[in-house]
A and B are shown apart, each in its own frame.
Chain A
Amino acid sequence: DSGVTQTPKHLITATGQRVTLRCSPRSGDLSVYWYQQSLDQGLQFLIQYYNGEERAKGNILERFSAQQFPDLHSELNLSSLELGDSALYFCASSVVGDSYGSYNEQFFGPGTRLTVL
């Protein structure tokens, strides 16, 4: 158990809908990362938050957004869902997450499996 929790475990929805994925980082970790894993693309970085502020963006679609709250939990919002958005979505956390800290190991949650029908 990495200490990172994600809810829900599974999500089945229809095209055009909007969903919210939730992540709670390990106790003491300030950075939260979101990744998408699909069969053809592998694990792809979406976005990073550090202590409530957006730190970095990957190839995240404009239909996707995220935020990190004062208690450090994070939510990933996916809207206008398409069939191609079906994937595993992982949240990871680390103590700091930048080059000024030594504690860059990222610990992953169990993931949310999203199925868009």
Chain B
Amino acid sequence: EDQVTQSPEALRLQEGESSSLNCSYTVSGLRGLFWYRQDPGKGPEFLFTLYSAGEEKEKERLKATLTKKESFLHITAPKPEDSATYLCAVQRNQGGKLIFGQGTELSVKP
């Protein structure tokens, strides 16, 4: 059965304190792994797609990496505006639906 597990469930950081979020996955035939950011009461905002092990993508203070079993979202020198829930999702080779993890709620204090 396809499964996505994110850790930690919640993460509190001080402004400037870098850290990483983890997404472990089990899927039959990975088409792609997706990272989204979701603010309370809003729709998920697309961040990255990773397609193959070893791939890395960056956007401002965020960097996503992919291995055969997990993905990491590194946050460098975070700011309070980076506070949100970060969601990881996988898509099988057949495409279509995204299978989401439960998310990591990130709080960055000034």
Which of B34, B43, B98 is within 8 Å of A110, CB to CB? Answer: B43
Q: Are A106 and B46 in contact (CB under 8 A)?
A: yes
Chain B neighbourhood of A33, CB < 8 A: 96-98
**A-side contacts of B36, CB under 8 Å:** 108
What is the CA–CA distance of A48 and B101 in the complex, to the nearest angstrom?
Answer: 19
Interface membership of B8, Cβ < 8 A: no
- In the bound complex, how far is the Cα of B41 from the Cα of A105, in angstroms? 21
Stretch binding the partner chain, chosen from B15-23, B64-72, B74-82, B87-95: B87-95
Total interface residues in chain A, CB < 8 Å:
30
Is B102 an interface residue when CB atoms closer than 8 A count as contact? yes
Given contacts A42-B103, A104-B31, A104-B49, contact A111 B42 (CB under 8 A): yes
Chain B: interface residue total (CB-CB under 8 A): 25
A48 contacts B45, C-beta separation under 8 Å: no
Q: Are B43 and A45 in contact (CB under 8 A)?
A: no
Q: Which residue of A lies closest to B42 (CB)?
A: A110
Contacts of A100 in B (CB 8 A): 95
Partner of A45, one of B45, B49, B98: B98
Task: Give A residues with C-beta under 8 Å from B.
Answer: 2, 4, 33, 35, 42-45, 48, 55-56, 58, 88, 90, 92, 96-101, 104-111, 113
- State the B residues within 8 Å of A (CB): 31-32, 34, 36, 41-46, 49, 87, 89, 91, 93-103
22 contacts between A and B (CB under 8 A): A33-B98, A35-B98, A42-B101, A48-B97, A55-B96, A88-B41, A90-B43, A92-B98, A97-B95, A97-B96, A98-B94, A99-B95, A100-B95, A104-B32, A105-B34, A106-B34, A106-B46, A106-B98, A108-B36, A108-B44, A111-B41, A113-B41
Q: A90-B44, A104-B91, A111-B41 are in contact. List 16 more A-B contacts (CB 8 A).
A: A2-B46, A35-B98, A42-B101, A43-B87, A43-B100, A44-B100, A45-B99, A48-B96, A48-B97, A97-B96, A99-B31, A99-B95, A100-B95, A104-B95, A105-B46, A106-B46
